[in-house]
Amino acid sequence: MFNILDILGTVAFAVSGTLAAIEKKLDFFGVLTIALVTSIGGGTLRDLLIGNTPVSWLQNLNSFYIIMGSSIFAIIFRARLSIFRTSLFLFDTIGIGLFTLVGLEKGVNINLHPLICISLGTVTACFGGVLRDILCNEIPVIFRKEIYATACIAGGFVFFGLRYLNLPEDIIYLATAASIITIRILAVLKKWSFPPIEMK
């Protein structure tokens, strides 16, 4: 289940990065680069923080194959994904839900404190998107007033709450990912946000 979530999250972020790059009218190399950075950026920072080196994608080329395949698929079918903003939002939302889980599990596996595990999950989910937005000359979503990283943090608390209840692992994974995705979607639909800090 964990490996499946990792693959699905990689696919979601690869498509998200591809759509963002296409919207910016980048060439083929630029599109693939943005897809790659979006997919592995968060995991790379996470691995460096916990001393897991060489980082995971350097040891397993499967990640490259999945990212390249997903990116090419999104390029070929870009006409069917013509509403880029909506498609980008959906794939990005799925990606943060799945990658938060991956980061949480990495922390749990090395017996880190739950708060640190939640931080790792948030970093894994959000940092690739930060790099994507910076390279595409956008203010990263995580730094705007939108509910983004907060959804990952909330999902982390759901994760540990369900673990405390000793529920089956698959149910914990599904409920955690669903809670993150639901919070993110509702935040956009209902326009939930934190107020920006302004100079008086």
The Cα 164–Cα 159 span in angstroms is 9
Higher pLDDT, 4 or 156: 156
Report the candidate in 33, 39, 31 with the shortest Cα–Cα distance to residue 9: 39
By percentage, how much of the chain surpasses pLDDT 70?
Answer: 92
Q: Which residue type does 110 have? A: I
**Burial class of residue 144 in the structure, from the number of CB atoms within 10 Å of its CB (0-12 exposed, 13-18 middle, 19+ buried):** middle
Question: 178 pLDDT exceeds 80?
Answer: yes
What is the pLDDT, as a whole number, of residue 83? Answer: 62
What is the pLDDT, as a whole number, of residue 59? Answer: 84
Q: Which residue type does 33 have? A: T
Question: 170 pLDDT exceeds 90?
Answer: no
Which letter does DSSP use for residue 143 in this model?
Answer: G
Q: Which residue type does 165 have? A: L
Q: What is the pTM of this model?
A: 0.84
Question: 12 pLDDT exceeds 80?
Answer: yes
What sign for the dihedral angle of Cα 148, 152, 157, 158? positive
Higher pLDDT, 80 or 30: 30
What is the pLDDT, as a whole number, of residue 84? Answer: 58
Domains of the chain by residue range = 2-189
**Burial class of residue 166 in the structure, from the number of CB atoms within 10 Å of its CB (0-12 exposed, 13-18 middle, 19+ buried):** exposed
Three-class SS state of 77? coil
For residues 105-113, give the mean pLDDT: 93
The Cα 72–Cα 186 span in angstroms is 30
Question: 39 pLDDT exceeds 80?
Answer: yes
For residues 27-50, give the mean pLDDT: 93
Higher pLDDT, 87 or 189: 189
pLDDT in tens, 18-36: 988 998 999 999 999 999 9
Cβ(37)–Cβ(131) below 8 Å: yes
Question: 124 pLDDT exceeds 90?
Answer: yes
The Cα 47–Cα 115 span in angstroms is 17
Residue 199: Cβ within 10 Å count: 3
For residues 90-117, give the mean pLDDT: 91
pLDDT in tens, 187-196: 888 877 777 7
Most distant CA atoms of the chain, gap in Å: 51
